[in-house]
Structure 1
Amino acid sequence: MPILGEFREFIARGNVIDLAVGVIIGAAFNDIVKSLVDQVVMPPVGLLFSGIDFARLEWVLKPDNPATKANELVAIQYGAFLNTLIKFLIVSWVVFLLVKAVNVIRRRDAQHPEATSSAPPPQEALLMEIRDLLKAQAGREEPPTRH
């Protein structure tokens, strides 16, 4: 099989498409969490700590040298790390809640399998009835004669 055919078969699998959708939604979710942390969670937290902006917290190891044009500031930016840590905790909590909800649904469906199997839609029921009538009618007719 040519490589393009194998690639087409690989991409056409449902799990690859699901993975791609998950990555895209995850990227969008990342933007939402970043906005939530930076614009909703951190301002009140900074206010609680006397108006400190956590994103700007840093430990300066080597200050700027005013004699040069280059920015020589060397600092450990632990405030940005704290923001990232809070984002991670929020994403982890949301993913945990999603997995928990899916597990609850799966357990419920496993306990009540009849609830998940429902009657066919009306069109399918009508088509099955027509099929059964045609089978019954075909069984009563005489087979065609051969000459």
Structure 2
Amino acid sequence: MGIFKEFKEFAVKGNMMDMAIGIIIGASFNKVIDVLVKKVLMPPLSLMTDGLKFQDKRLVLRDKLTDASGEMISDEVAIGYGALFEAFMDFLIIGFTVFIVVKFLNSLKNKAQDPKDKTVKTPKDIELLSHLTELIKEQNELLKKEK
């Protein structure tokens, strides 16, 4: 029963829900990026390169071997560098998009943590720490005047 109780506490704290939501959004985001690369970016790139389809590009190390009757003896061995190029494009787009989102969220966070900025509501803990800092400064000034 100890493991079940620990799992229940873990799930109730929100860690599990946050993680599940992140995974679901990430999977959906991956589908969007996959379509963006394969259906939006790659066709014009293929058109600019005289119909070259990157997903079909590969370096053949050994051709498919067949015997005299036409039966296959061994499969083709090839390095699919076109698929790697598409995956690299996916990575660049996802990385850039995540960078932009994190940058935007950090700017919002920085605004919210600035107690002097009244356009965004400051979290209570930051507000209290700000007041505490101001009180310490006042106390230090009073102590300096007494000396």
TM-score by length of 2: 0.74
Distance 1:101 1:70 in 2: 57
Residue 21 of structure 1 is matched in structure 2 by 21
Q: String of CA shifts for 1:22-52, please: whole Å, max 9, x gaps.
A: 0111011111111110000000011111110
User: CA RMSD of the aligned region, Å?
Assistant: 1.8
Say which SS state the counterpart of residue 51 (structure 1) adopts. Answer: coil
Dislocated runs of 4+, deviation >6 Å: none
User: Is 1:80 paired with 2:113?
Assistant: no
* Deviation, structure 1 residue 97: 0.4
Aligned length: 118
For residues 55-78 of structure 1, what are the alpha-carbon distances to aligned partners after superposition, in whole Å with 9 as ceiling and x for unaligned? 000000000113233551000000
Identity rate of aligned residues, in percent?
36
Question: 1:32 and 1:70, CA in 2 relative to 1: closer, same or farther beyond 3 A?
Answer: farther
Tell me whether 12-21 or 24-33 shows the greater mean CA deviation.
12-21
CA contact (8 A) 2:57 2:81 kept: yes
What is the SS of the residue equivalent to 1:102?
helix
**C-alpha deviation, 1:107, in angstroms:** 1.6
Aligned to 2:136: none
| 1:19 Cα deviation from its structure 2 partner | 1.2
Residue segments in structure 1 that go unaligned for 5+ positions in a row:
118-147
Answering whether residue 110 of structure 2 is matched by residue 107 of structure 1, we say yes
Q: Report what 1:33 is aligned to.
A: 33
1:72-103 deviation line (CA, Å, top 9, x unaligned):
10000000000000000000000000000001
How far 1:106 moved relative to its partner? 1.2
Structure 1 residue 65 and structure 2 residue 65: aligned?
yes
3-state SS of paired residue (2:65): coil
Cα distance change, pair 62–25 in 1 and its aligned pair in 2 (3 A): same
Q: Which residue pairs with 2:121 in the alignment?
A: 116
Q: Which residue type is aligned with residue 21 of structure 2?
A: V
Separation of aligned partners in 2, 1:47 and 1:107: 44
